[in-house]
């Protein structure tokens, strides 16, 4: 297996040479907390006197298994041994956790050592030890020590989370924020982390499932705290910009990016087949295409050819009236991806962010949203994230009815979907769905790269198809003169749907179109199309540069207006298992040139949706004002009657 050019291997010998130091830390370290406070409940410590309780078991043949007295301090191995109700024998899970923690510490120490060598910190440490450190180097020395501590701490938490992930259960633990984050030097930083982990286990790890859940929760909190601290730390770039691979664990270290284990999940939702989605032709077609696009993701390169060439849909919004098929569309797309991933052996992760994840506790809603995003963008899986009823979940800035939790979610989603640090690898997509998209914050709504109008069945044929589908088989009513599901033939229906956008549909946009067409004639050049876009912006100031980007992205999707052949999904060796370059070449052969008709249709599709949202939003605001005026008049009348 070839390693990407920008990735370095962290060799096994560099890790294993730190095993002894890592084991020593787990057996016992002394640490006096400097930031965090000890747990409120007293943490029990062994007196060092052997009793009838479990005996210390050495893993080294020939050594006595009798526990000997040691200095008071953090003895994490004993803490782990005690998390099973006092069983005299160590369990396989406890042994695995000890091994994984030793491995994580050793990897962290190796990364810290590599950073020290690369930055010249090793030489400065030697000079300092020999009292030869120049005074003008002291500031640099302190900054490098702090950066090494952050890199070591983050790698320890990252590796712990990655290695323990396969042993996680449905049990979760809320531990609160990690506080003892020290940056004097790497060793003190690890001692502080182990002390706080020991305190946390004493509070929460009452049995084995909670033991694993507590350690994973601690690792997540530690990563979050360290990554936040690193945002303003000097001299951290050599670690933040580096990419290492631990081949034995298939563990990739990419700065302050969590390396989650590529685990999928068993979905219990009721999947739908494409013919069961009646109407919604463009939305259904693009969802089917997107499901196959995701499968082109290359797990070695951590990139999708569609994302590199353009035309990949990272975020989309589906809007429509209640009962028009948004949930059915989600079930269809999740089912397709799930089936493709099962054939290819890829891990698939579906996550939905719902209104019950909005919490009254300050900051918790944002944490929930961040966890949702991180789970879906995990480069080790194919991810599909949905946010149903986005208008109820993400707050609209400036709206007094939006709660603090909703505004936190809005901020997280905006940063994740199109922020300064957003990286689109092409392994995942996010769908936002709403019956009232006009109530979604304008900036967040414009971060939806594609718009799926989910308007349900429209034609007589659509209504016959959906009636037959929902009636089931427990009847003998004849079908009559009708070719069942012929109207749902996707290519014919989609072609008609796209052609219908050759002219705009919303009244406000029709007026703009007619003025521009009268002044410029047929829109058949870049200059004329640009004039149309400017006229739209003059009619609706919210039509900004981001809208143009979304339109051009949609046009690029149209250039990819083909479905990857079904046999490529059914026989992975034909496409999915080929190298990144081979997949790219195969996709290029299927591409088609961009036409003026495509550009016009996509401008109208996008602008129609914005005008539709604006009209609904304005009408809703007017209705609210009318109700307020009515209340005021009624209140005034009652007040005057009371005075009389």
DSSP per-residue codes, 431-469? EEEES-GGGS-HHHHTT-SEEEE-----SHHHHHHHHHH
Whether 259 maps to a domain, the answer reads: no
The token pair that represents 150 in the structure block: 């952050």
**Is the per-residue pLDDT at 631 higher than 50?**
yes
Whether 318 maps to a domain, the answer reads: yes
- On whether the CB atoms of residues 600 and 523 are closer than 8 A, the answer is yes
For the chain, what is the mean pLDDT?
Answer: 83
CB atoms within 10 A of CB 405: 22
Q: What percent of the chain has pLDDT over 90?
A: 36
- On whether the CB atoms of residues 133 and 127 are closer than 8 A, the answer is yes
**Is the per-residue pLDDT at 195 higher than 60?**
yes
Based on the fold, state whether residues 236 and 297 are members of the same structural domain.
no
- How far is residue 352's CA from residue 386's CA, in Å, rounded to a whole number? 5
Q: What is the extent of the structural domain holding 505?
A: 274-620
**Is the per-residue pLDDT at 619 higher than 70?**
no
The token pair that represents 188 in the structure block: 């003190």
- How far is residue 96's CA from residue 398's CA, in Å, rounded to a whole number? 51
Based on the fold, state whether residues 247 and 281 are members of the same structural domain.
no
The residue among 199 and 628 whose pLDDT is bigger is 199
Whether 1 maps to a domain, the answer reads: no
Based on the fold, state whether residues 223 and 280 are members of the same structural domain.
no
Question: Is the pTM above the cut of 0.75?
Answer: no
**Tokens 């009513």 -> residue:** 477
* Range name among 427-436, 513-522, 553-562 with the lowest pLDDT average: 553-562
Based on the fold, state whether residues 482 and 567 are members of the same structural domain.
yes
CB atoms within 10 A of CB 301: 18
Positive or negative, the CA dihedral 585, 590, 593, 598 is negative
Tell me what the mean pLDDT of segment 300-309 comes to. Answer: 89
Whether 544 maps to a domain, the answer reads: yes
**Is the per-residue pLDDT at 59 higher than 70?**
no
Based on the fold, state whether residues 315 and 224 are members of the same structural domain.
no
The residue among 154 and 563 whose pLDDT is bigger is 154
Q: Show which of 200, 220, 254 is a domain's final residue.
A: 254
CB atoms within 10 A of CB 13: 7
Based on the fold, state whether residues 349 and 458 are members of the same structural domain.
yes
**Tokens 């062994």 -> residue:** 46
The token pair that represents 282 in the structure block: 């463009």
Whether 16 maps to a domain, the answer reads: yes
Q: How many structural domains is the chain composed of?
A: 2
Whether 60 maps to a domain, the answer reads: no
- How far is residue 334's CA from residue 339's CA, in Å, rounded to a whole number? 9
The residue among 504 and 46 whose pLDDT is bigger is 504
Based on the fold, state whether residues 119 and 226 are members of the same structural domain.
yes
Based on the fold, state whether residues 286 and 247 are members of the same structural domain.
no
Digit-coded pLDDT (tens) for 365-374 = 888 888 889 8
The secondary structure of 195-227, three-state, reads: HHHHHHHHHHCCCHHHHHHHHHHHHHHHHHHHH
Positive or negative, the CA dihedral 439, 553, 495, 273 is negative
Whether 140 maps to a domain, the answer reads: yes
Based on the fold, state whether residues 223 and 328 are members of the same structural domain.
no
List the one residue out of 202, 219, 216 whose CA is nearest residue 172.
216
Digit-coded pLDDT (tens) for 572-589 = 999 999 999 999 999 888
Based on the fold, state whether residues 382 and 489 are members of the same structural domain.
yes
Categorise residue 153: left if φ over 0, alpha if ψ from -120 to 50, beta otherwise: alpha
SS3 148: helix
**Is the per-residue pLDDT at 52 higher than 60?**
no
List the one residue out of 293, 330, 292, 289 whose CA is nearest residue 434.
330
- How far is residue 388's CA from residue 317's CA, in Å, rounded to a whole number? 10
- pLDDT category of residue 263 using cuts at 50, 70 and 90: low
* CATH at 344: 3.40.50.300
């Amino acid at each position: 297996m070839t390693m990407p050019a920008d990735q370095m291997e962290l060799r096994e010998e560099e890790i294993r040479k730190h095993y002894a130091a890592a084991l020593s830390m787990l057996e016992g370290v002394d640490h006096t907390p400097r930031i965090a406070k000890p747990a409120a409940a007293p943490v029990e410590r062994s007196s060092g006197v052997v009793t009838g309780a479990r005996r210390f078991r050495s893993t080294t043949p020939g050594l006595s298994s009798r526990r000997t007295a040691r200095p008071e301090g953090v003895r994490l191995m004993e803490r782990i041994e005690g998390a099973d109700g006092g069983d005299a024998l160590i369990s396989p899970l406890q042994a695995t956790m000890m091994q994984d923690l030793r491995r994580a510490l050793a990897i962290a120490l190796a990364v810290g050592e590599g950073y020290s060598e690369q930055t010249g910190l090793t030489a400065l440490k030697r000079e300092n030890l020999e009292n030869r450190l120049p005074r003008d180097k002291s500031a640099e020395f302190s900054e490098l020590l702090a950066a090494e501590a952050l890199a070591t701490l983050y790698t320890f938490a990252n590796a712990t989370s990655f290695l323990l992930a396969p042993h996680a259960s449905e049990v979760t633990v809320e531990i609160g924020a990690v506080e003892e984050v020290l940056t004097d030097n790497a060793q003190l930083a690890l001692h502080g982390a182990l002390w706080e982990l020991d305190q946390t286990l004493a509070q929460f790890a009452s049995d084995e499932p909670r033991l694993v859940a507590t350690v994973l929760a601690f690792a997540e909190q530690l990563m979050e705290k360290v990554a936040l601290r690193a945002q303003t730390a000097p001299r951290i770039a050599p670690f933040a910009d580096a990419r290492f691979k631990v081949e034995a664990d298939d563990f990739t270290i990419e700065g302050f990016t969590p390396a989650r284990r590529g685990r999928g999940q068993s979905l219990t939702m009721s999947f739908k087949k494409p013919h069961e989605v009646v109407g919604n032709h463009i939305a259904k077609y693009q969802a089917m295409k997107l499901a196959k696009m995701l499968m082109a993701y290359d797990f070695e390169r951590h990139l999708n050819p569609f994302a590199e060439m353009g035309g990949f849909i990272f975020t989309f919004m589906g809007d429509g009236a209640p009962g028009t098929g948004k949930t059915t569309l989600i079930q269809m797309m999740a089912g397709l991806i799930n089936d493709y991933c099962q054939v290819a052996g890829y891990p698939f992760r579906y996550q939905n962010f719902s209104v019950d994840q909005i919490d009254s506790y300050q900051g918790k809603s944002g944490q929930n949203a961040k966890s949702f995003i991180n789970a879906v963008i995990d480069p080790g899986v194919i991810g599909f994230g949905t946010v149903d009823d986005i208008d109820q979940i993400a707050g609209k800035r400036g709206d007094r009815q939006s709660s603090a939790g909703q505004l936190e979610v809005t901020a997280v989603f905006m940063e994740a979907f199109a922020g300064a640090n957003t990286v689109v690898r092409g392994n995942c997509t996010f769908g936002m769905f709403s019956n009232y998209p006009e109530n979604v914050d304008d900036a967040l709504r414009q971060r939806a790269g594609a718009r799926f109008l989910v308007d349900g069945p429209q034609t007589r044929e659509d209504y016959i198809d959906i009636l037959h589908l929902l009636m089931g088989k427990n009847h003998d009513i004849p079908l009559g003169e009708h070719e069942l599901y012929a109207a749902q033939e996707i290519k014919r229906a989609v072609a008609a749907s796209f052609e219908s956008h050759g002219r705009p549909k919303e009244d406000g946009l029709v007026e703009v179109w007619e003025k521009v067409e009268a002044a410029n004639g047929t829109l058949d050049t870049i200059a004329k199309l640009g004039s149309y876009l400017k006229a739209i912006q003059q009619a609706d100031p919210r039509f900004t540069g981001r809208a143009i980007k979304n339109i051009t992205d949609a046009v690029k999707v149209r250039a990819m207006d083909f479905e990857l052949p079904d046999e490529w999904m059914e026989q992975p060796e034909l496409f999915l298992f080929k190298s990144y370059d081979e997949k790219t070449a195969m996709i290029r052969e299927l591409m088609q040139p961009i036409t003026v008709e495509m550009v016009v249709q996509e401008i109208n599709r996008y602008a129609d949706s914005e005008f539709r949202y604006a009209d609904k939003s304005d009408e809703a605001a007017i209705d609210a004002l009318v109700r307020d005026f009515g209340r005021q008049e009624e209140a005034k009348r009652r007040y005057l009657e009371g005075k009389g």
